[in-house]
């Protein structure tokens, strides 16, 4: 395990234009509008339990939305995101809204601590009868993460107290004891929350319960079988057909292929990595590494999208990565960031940071619109125009995953040990880090990801020896660095340059990362990308989009292999971005009138291809989009 630990986002100020804009948008638009949507769709109302509860209330609710068993989680996740926002900027209105929710939850909580509004409102007698499908512990997990975040942001612990009572009930209910249920949630998440609660409180019982849930998963006789039989069902009638769906097909330590529902998988692997670190558990660490290799070598989109199939919101066979029908749920890319960060703290290896960065700038960031109020749930890499952002969703999980990620993004930039600081991401941040030699102020300045020129001012309170580690991204093939203008030898260890010296106030490190526009090729086994190239620059995956192509369908464009790729700074687009441009051809359709096939190739015209960063697509109206551009 590495000695590095993340620096909490609250201690990292975002100064750079790129993340400052995203953060401001989330603070001013996303968080308030998400609360409004929770209200409009009856989700907040679902917390207001009648007393006594009616026997059975049927979906859909008065708002026309089907009541979902996971709504508690959405409220919890909004509170988490809103609390991260409060850490940046207190806001009485938002706090009042959270307090009102806590009022409802306080009233709803059963005398024994149980707190699941769906069950309490509808089937109070049926609690804990369908862990496989009904998300009770998942909901608790997100509620708990919200309560922890709210406590950390405001110091108010009423919500946390409520949830700790519920956790105490869960700890009584689940465990290895003879009178306990030997179960675990069909949707992993509680494990991550319990580990956070352990970090907050130091109460080892939370860590043990998380470890119990993880290690009990997949044990035989299978808990979900027994539970189905107890409900009078035949376990073989399970709608998802396989427990791979919830990664409970076998014990987690025996799992070596990434399978099933993508978000469930990523939350579980994140918890496994957390436990590997906390318990110094080399078996869990090894399982994580095996699963990591599998997903990276056979199942990840270039955007870091995960899970090609809508049917299981998850994984299929190796190399099955269709573009137009890619599911690639936003939540899965967000959760991949969680997992990658944890792997990075098991081993400070740039390969994990590379994936973290890739997921952040592409698969995750695309989930939130420029205006901060529209979302992608699934993230295809090609669209014929049907795929558009939505203002809300019957399953709004992705919305709050986007907002909580952006509101806490500073936490991914750097880590510290007793005598070293490691920079993983760049983009303009400032933070004060306490090392064993004292406090050091770091000010990183760059216009990353638009440019690879990075400057870091290092200001210890007094001269002190410590190491500054700088990640040189895996995509970068030519990097140089200097301290106070003197070049540093570029000896990298697992992707990091280490500058170990005595620093004093006024020292400055510069890092130059060459960031050319590049063609990227896929493994030949990825049939969907055959004969195609993706365009990348730095961490950003690019795409062709209709507005930059005069309304032509972008799938009609071809990029010759030898065409020069140029970069262009475009102040007119999205407050300033870098586009990629190339001279290629466009297939003409005007001579295809009444037939689909012919013996002569399509007529072509010279045409300019203009690519924008993938995360920005579909902010200018519906239309075609393409990541993997055919060569030709």
Give the nearest distance from C-beta 432 to a copy of itself in angstroms. 38
Interface with a copy of itself includes 563 (CB under 8 A)? Answer: no
The dihedral over CA atoms of 370, 374, 377, 380, expressed in degrees to the nearest 10, equals: -50
Q: Does 594 bind a copy of itself (CB under 8 A)?
A: yes
State yes or no: residue 347 binds a copy of itself (CB under 8 A).
no
Catalytic residue among 117, 185, 288, 397: 397
Instruction: Tell me 359's DSSP state.
Output: I
How does 289-301 read in b/e, with b if 16+ C-beta sit within 10 Å? Answer: eebbebbeebbbb
Residue 556 interacts with a copy of itself (CB under 8 A): yes or no: yes
57, 241, 527, 566: which one binds a copy of itself (CB under 8 A):
527
Q: Is 519 in the site for a copy of itself (CB under 8 A)?
A: yes
Burial of 630 (0-12, 13-18, 19+ CB in 10 A): middle
Question: Is the CB of residue 451 less than 8 Å from the CB of residue 477?
Answer: no
Q: Is 587 in the site for a copy of itself (CB under 8 A)?
A: yes
Verify whether residue 397 is a known catalytic residue.
Answer: yes
For a copy of itself, the closer of residues 248 and 298 by Cβ is 298
> 553 vs 570, which CB is nearer to a copy of itself?
553
Q: Which of 142, 345, 404, 558 binds a copy of itself (CB under 8 A)?
A: 558
237 binds a copy of itself (CB under 8 A): no
Work out the end-to-end distance of the chain between its first and last CA atoms, rounded to an integer number of angstroms: 48
Per CB under 8 A, which region of 425-433, 459-467, 526-534, 563-571 contacts a copy of itself?
Answer: 526-534
- Kindly give the pairing relationship between strand 420-423 and strand 464-471: parallel
Residue 461 catalytic? Answer: no
| Closer to a copy of itself by Cβ: residue 201 or 386 | 386
Examine residue 379 and tell whether it contacts a copy of itself (CB under 8 A).
no
CB-CB contact of 467 with 419 (8 Å): yes
* Closest distance to a copy of itself from the beta carbon of 380 (Å): 12
Minimum CB–partner distance for residue 293 and a copy of itself (Å): 6
As a whole number of angstroms, the distance between CA 85 and CA 92 comes to: 12
User: Which ranges constitute the DSSP H helices of 241-281?
Assistant: 262-278
Residues 582, 568: contact at Cβ < 8 Å?
A: no
Please pick, from the candidates 521, 567, 574, 608, the single residue that binds a copy of itself as defined by CB under 8 A: 521
Q: Bridge-partner residues for 610, per DSSP?
A: 581
Binders in 80-119 for a copy of itself, by CB under 8 A? none
Question: Does the footprint of a copy of itself cover residue 197 (CB under 8 A)?
Answer: no
Work out whether 532 is an interface residue with a copy of itself (CB under 8 A): yes
User: Does 514 contact a copy of itself by CB under 8 A?
Assistant: no
Distance CA 84, CA 412 (A): 14
Span interacting with a copy of itself, options 35-43, 201-209, 363-371, 590-598, rule CB under 8 A: 590-598
CB of 301 to a copy of itself, least distance (A): 9
Judge residue 474's burial from the number of C-beta atoms within 10 Å of its C-beta, 0-12 exposed, 13-18 middle, 19 or more buried.
Answer: middle
| CA 11/CA 427 separation, integer angstroms | 16
Find residue 535's DSSP bridge partners: 519
- Rule CB under 8 A: is residue 289 a binding residue for a copy of itself? no
Applying CB under 8 A, among 393, 520, 567, 619 the residue interacting with a copy of itself is 520
d(CA 295, CA 301): 10
Nearer Cβ to a copy of itself (300/611): 300
Rounded distance, CA 193 to CA 187, Å?
Answer: 13
Edge-first strand order for the sheet with 438-446 is 12-14, 429-435, 438-446, 453-460, 507-513, 479-483, 486-488
349 binding a copy of itself? (CB under 8 A):
no
Residues with active-site annotation: 313, 397
For a copy of itself, the binding residues (CB under 8 A) are 293, 296-298, 300, 302, 317, 319-322, 324-325, 382, 384, 386, 477, 518-527, 530-532, 534, 553, 555-556, 558, 561, 587-589, 592-602, 630-632
């Amino acid at each position: 395990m590495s000695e590095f630990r993340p620096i909490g986002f609250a201690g990292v100020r975002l100064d750079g234009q790129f993340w400052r804009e995203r953060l401001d948008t989330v603070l001013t638009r996303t968080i308030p509008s998400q609360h409004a949507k929770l209200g409009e769709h009856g989700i907040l109302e679902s917390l207001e339990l009648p007393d006594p509860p009616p026997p059975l209330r049927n979906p859909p609710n008065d708002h026309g939305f089907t009541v979902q068993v996971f709504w508690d989680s959405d409220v919890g996740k909004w509170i988490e995101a809103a609390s991260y926002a409060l850490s940046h900027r207190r806001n009485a209105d938002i706090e009042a809204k959270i307090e009102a929710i806590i009022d409802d939850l306080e009233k709803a909580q059963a005398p024994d601590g149980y707190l699941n509004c769906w069950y309490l409102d509808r089937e109070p007698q049926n609690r804990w009868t369908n862990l496989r499908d009904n998300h009770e512990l998942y909901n608790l997990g997100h509620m708990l993460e919200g309560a922890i975040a709210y406590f950390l942001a405001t110091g108010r612990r009423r919500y946390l107290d409520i949830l700790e009572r519920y956790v105490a009930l869960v700890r009584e209910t689940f465990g290895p004891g003879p009178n306990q249920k030997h179960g675990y949630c069909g949707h992993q998440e509680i494990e991550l929350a319990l580990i956070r609660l352990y970090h907050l409180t130091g109460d080892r019982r939370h860590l043990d319960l998380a470890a119990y849930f993880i290690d009990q998963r997949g044990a035989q006789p299978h808990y979900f079988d027994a539970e189905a039989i107890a409900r009078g069902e035949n376990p073989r009638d399970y709608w998802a057909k396989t427990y791979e769906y919830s990664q409970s097909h076998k014990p987690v330590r025996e799992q070596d292929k990434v399978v099933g529902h993508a978000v469930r998988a990523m939350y579980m692997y994140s918890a496994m990595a957390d436990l590997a670190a906390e318990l110094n558990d080399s078996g869990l660490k090894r399982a994580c590494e095996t699963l990591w290799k599998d997903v990276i070598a056979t199942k990840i989109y270039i955007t870091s999208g995960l899970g090609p199939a809508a049917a299981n919101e998850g994984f299929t066979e190796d190399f099955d990565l269709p573009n137009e029908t890619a599911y690639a749920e936003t939540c899965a890319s967000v959760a991949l960031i969680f997992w990658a960060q944890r792997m990075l703290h098991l081993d400070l290896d740039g390969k994990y940071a590379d994936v973290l960065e890739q997921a952040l700038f592409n698969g995750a960031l695309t989930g939130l619109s420029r205006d901060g109020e529209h979302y992608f749930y699934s993230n295809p890499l090609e669209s014929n125009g049907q795929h558009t952002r939505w203002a809300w969703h019957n399953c709004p999980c992705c919305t709050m995953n986007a907002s909580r990620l952006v509101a806490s993004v500073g936490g991914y930039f750097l880590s510290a040990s007793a005598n070293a600081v490691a920079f993983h991401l760049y983009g303009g941040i400032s933070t004060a880090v306490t090392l064993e030699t004292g406090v050091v102020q770091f000010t990183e300045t760059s216009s990353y990801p638009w440019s690879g020129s990075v400057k870091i001012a290092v200001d210890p309170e007094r001269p002190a020896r410590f190491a500054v580690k700088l990640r040189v991204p895996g995509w970068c093939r030519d990097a140089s660095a200097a301290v106070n203008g003197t070049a540093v030898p570029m000896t990298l260890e697992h992707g990091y340059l280490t500058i170990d010296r005595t620093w004093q106030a006024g020292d400055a490190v510069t890092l130059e990362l060459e960031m050319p526009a590049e063609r990227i090729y896929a493994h030949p086994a990825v049939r969907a990308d055959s004969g195609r190239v993706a365009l990348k620059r730095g961490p950003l995956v690019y795409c062709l989009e209709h507005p930059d192509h005069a309304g032509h369908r972008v799938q009609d464009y071809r990029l010759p292999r030898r065409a020069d790729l140029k970069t262009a700074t475009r102040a007119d687009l999205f407050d300033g971005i870098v586009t990629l441009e190339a001279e290629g051809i466009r297939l003409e359709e005007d001579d295809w009138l009444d037939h689909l096939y012919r013996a002569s190739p399509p007529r072509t015209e010279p045409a300019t291809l203009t690519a924008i960063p993938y995360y920005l697509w579909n902010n200018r109206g519906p239309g075609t989009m393409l990541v993997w551009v055919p060569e030709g």
